[in-house]
Amino acid sequence: MEVAVAEDPLYQRIAQHYRGAIRSGLMPAGERMPSVRSLQRLHQVSLSTALQACRRLEDEGLLEARPRSGYFVRSLRRAGMQPASEPDLRRAPDPAQYVGIHDRVSDFVARSESRPAVADFGATYAAGSLYPADALRAAALRALRRQPELLVQPAPAAGDLALRTAIARRALDGGMQLTPDDITITHGCIEALNVALRAVAQPGDVIAVESPTYYGLLQVLESLGLRALEIPCSPHTGLSIEALELAFDTHPGIKAVVASPDYNNPLGCVMPDADKARLVALCERRQVPLIEDDTYGALGGSDVPLRALKAWDATGNVIRCVSLRKTIAPGLRLGWVSGGRWQARIHMLKFAQSRANEALPQLTMAEFMASSAYDRHLQRLRRQVKQQRERIAEVIDASFPAGTRLSVPAGGMLLWVELPPGVQAHPLFEAALMRGIRVVPGTLFSNTSRFERFVRFSCGHPVTREAEQALRDLGAMAAAQV
């Protein structure tokens, strides 16, 4: 959140006041701005100061002047931008394009953290202020007071029952019927994916993944000696079921499919229900386990929960892996897995790999998830991230070179931007880094060179003036490459 500091000129303070209201949606597009004379009176400033404030907001694209009517909140300018382009399904996946990813990812992480961020569009979680710090802390304090020996007693081997119950209860809304016994608590979704993959595949096996996909998944596959077969995705509907079916025919050894159907990373799109049903049925028919990665599903565009792939699972063929970090508490390393037919094996692998999670974070999370504060938090986070997402899209629209393509998803935290031909993401990432601007180049999201013109923007942080300027700078850097 921006805070007005005392030495700001008066007009900046007034501009800031209304900027917040416009961005928060309190003053929606089309609404009339108070007249200059009203501003003069309301804020006890001179006419020229009031006018200066309005002009400032006009410069920022937030207001527009209409002759003889005054200033109005401007509507979003995304109308002109092309939606992201569809992939070429005829391009068969080629194992020869495999180049490995560890070095790239760790180089990327090290370089990203090498200097402080002026504007962070790289992180996959939101700003701390958007999470329920107080409620979680209160729950942790209560647990420590209630159980003075909590830190010196071993945690239950199966994971905390209250947390597994709260999770099962919440999963009902996503169309699933799970019991606490169907759920294994893990150290984040990443551990869930590790044990899910280890349960169904051996080193050397081929795993079908979305393309582009979360680079962390590519790294997990590589670290386990598994090979990724990248299946094209539509930026609007996700994994292409046709392309997957084709891959099953041409690569009979595929041992699992990993898909993230809801606001996936990096595309941000949602797979339609009909495709979800087809995907589950296809994997079932082919007897290939389907691993569902749900990281942002709870950050939907409406209050109607999305239906998980697991909701269509009649035979236990879907292994559901869920992150609780990015939607609830980035400081708690908690996720869960529901392993269907593989549940016993997954539970064993989790036990052999890192034993049960500690009790304190589980008790903290259980209390929060079982309360209505959880619902209120999600509503607020969804609303806030939506505003940020749309504002970032607007500024990109206004600042990036012609030919930039972008579809703005209805939920989640990410924007996947296609740069015009001739503009490369990696040099842009490097140049941005020099100015303390963090973005993630598309090259990280594939073992192929398919996404050299893409950049992923995370919309987790409030869009400050510095952030807007950073986006404009990025646009200028991109334009300079054309």
By CB under 8 A, the residues from 226 to 285 that bind its own copies are none
User: By C-alpha distance, which of 299, 325, 338, 291 is closest to 459?
Assistant: 299
Judged by CB under 8 A, the residue of 30, 67, 116, 148 near its own copies is: 148
Of 218 and 477, the one with the shorter C-beta distance to its own copies is 218
Of 199 and 269, the one with the shorter C-beta distance to its own copies is 199
CB of 107 to its own copies, least distance (A): 12
Judged by CB under 8 A, the residue of 185, 329, 393, 413 near its own copies is: 329
Q: Is residue 300 helix, strand or coil?
A: coil
User: By C-alpha distance, which of 451, 463, 431, 401 is closest to 111?
Assistant: 431
Judged by CB under 8 A, the residue of 15, 231, 321, 332 near its own copies is: 332
287-316 residues near its own copies, rule: CB under 8 A: 303-305, 313-316
Of 225 and 422, the one with the shorter C-beta distance to its own copies is 225
CB of 135 to its own copies, least distance (A): 10
462 upstream amide cis, omega within 30 of 0: no
Q: The tokens 């994971």 sit on which residue? A: 159
Q: Is 85 in the site for its own copies (CB under 8 A)?
A: no
28-47 residues near its own copies, rule: CB under 8 A: 41-42, 44
Taking the CA atoms of residue 325, residue 305, residue 132 and residue 164 in that order, the dihedral angle to the nearest 10 degrees is -60
Helix and strand totals (H; E) in the chain: 15, 16
44-83 residues near its own copies, rule: CB under 8 A: 44
6-25 residues near its own copies, rule: CB under 8 A: 17-18, 20-21, 24
Pairing of strands 405-406, 414-418: antiparallel
Q: Which stretch binds its own copies (CB under 8 A): 74-82, 144-152, 431-439, 452-460?
A: 144-152
Of 234 and 317, the one with the shorter C-beta distance to its own copies is 317
CB of 150 to its own copies, least distance (A): 6
- Contact map string, positions 355 to 374, toward its own copies, x by CB under 8 A: xxxxxxx--x----------
Residue 324 vs residues 163, 301, 336: alpha-carbon distances, Å: 11, 18, 8
Of 173 and 473, the one with the shorter C-beta distance to its own copies is 173
Q: Which stretch binds its own copies (CB under 8 A): 49-57, 72-80, 176-184, 443-451?
A: 176-184
Judged by CB under 8 A, the residue of 198, 227, 389, 405 near its own copies is: 198
Judged by CB under 8 A, the residue of 9, 83, 225, 422 near its own copies is: 225
Q: Which stretch binds its own copies (CB under 8 A): 153-161, 239-247, 458-466, 472-480?
A: 153-161
CB of 475 to its own copies, least distance (A): 28
Of 219 and 240, the one with the shorter C-beta distance to its own copies is 219
- Amino acid identity at 259: A
Q: Which stretch binds its own copies (CB under 8 A): 61-69, 151-159, 264-272, 293-301?
A: 151-159
Give the separation between CA 290 and CA 171, rounded to whole angstroms. 18
Q: Which stretch binds its own copies (CB under 8 A): 169-177, 384-392, 404-412, 434-442?
A: 169-177
305 Cβ contact partners less than 8 Å away, ≥ 6 residues apart: 173, 174, 175, 297, 298
Cβ contact 371:448 at 8 Å? no
- Contact map string, positions 177 to 196, toward its own copies, x by CB under 8 A: xxxx-----xxx-xx--x--
Of 438 and 453, the one with the shorter C-beta distance to its own copies is 438
Q: Is 141 in the site for its own copies (CB under 8 A)?
A: yes
Give the separation between CA 153 and CA 147, rounded to whole angstroms. 10
Q: Which stretch binds its own copies (CB under 8 A): 239-247, 324-332, 437-445, 470-478?
A: 324-332
Of 149 and 249, the one with the shorter C-beta distance to its own copies is 149
In this structure, what DSSP letter does residue 174 have?
G
- Amino acid identity at 142: R
Judged by CB under 8 A, the residue of 276, 320, 333, 461 near its own copies is: 333
Q: Is 87 in the site for its own copies (CB under 8 A)?
A: no
Cβ contact 170:298 at 8 Å? no
Of 67 and 157, the one with the shorter C-beta distance to its own copies is 157
Q: Where are the alpha helices (DSSP H) in 211-317?
A: 215-223, 241-250, 273-286
User: By C-alpha distance, which of 224, 221, 223, 231 is closest to 251?
Assistant: 231
Of 186 and 211, the one with the shorter C-beta distance to its own copies is 186
User: By C-alpha distance, which of 442, 443, 404 is closest to 421?
Assistant: 404
CB of 255 to its own copies, least distance (A): 12
- Contact map string, positions 200 to 219, toward its own copies, x by CB under 8 A: x-xx------------x--x
Query: In DSSP terms, which residues pair with 208 in a beta bridge?
Result: 229, 257
Number of residues in contact with its own copies under rule CB under 8 A = 103
3-state helix, strand, coil in the chain (%, to 5): 45, 15, 40
User: By C-alpha distance, which of 409, 404, 476, 406 is closest to 437?
Assistant: 476
> Strands across the sheet with 318-323, in order?
184-186, 335-338, 318-323, 290-294, 254-259, 206-211, 227-234, 238-239
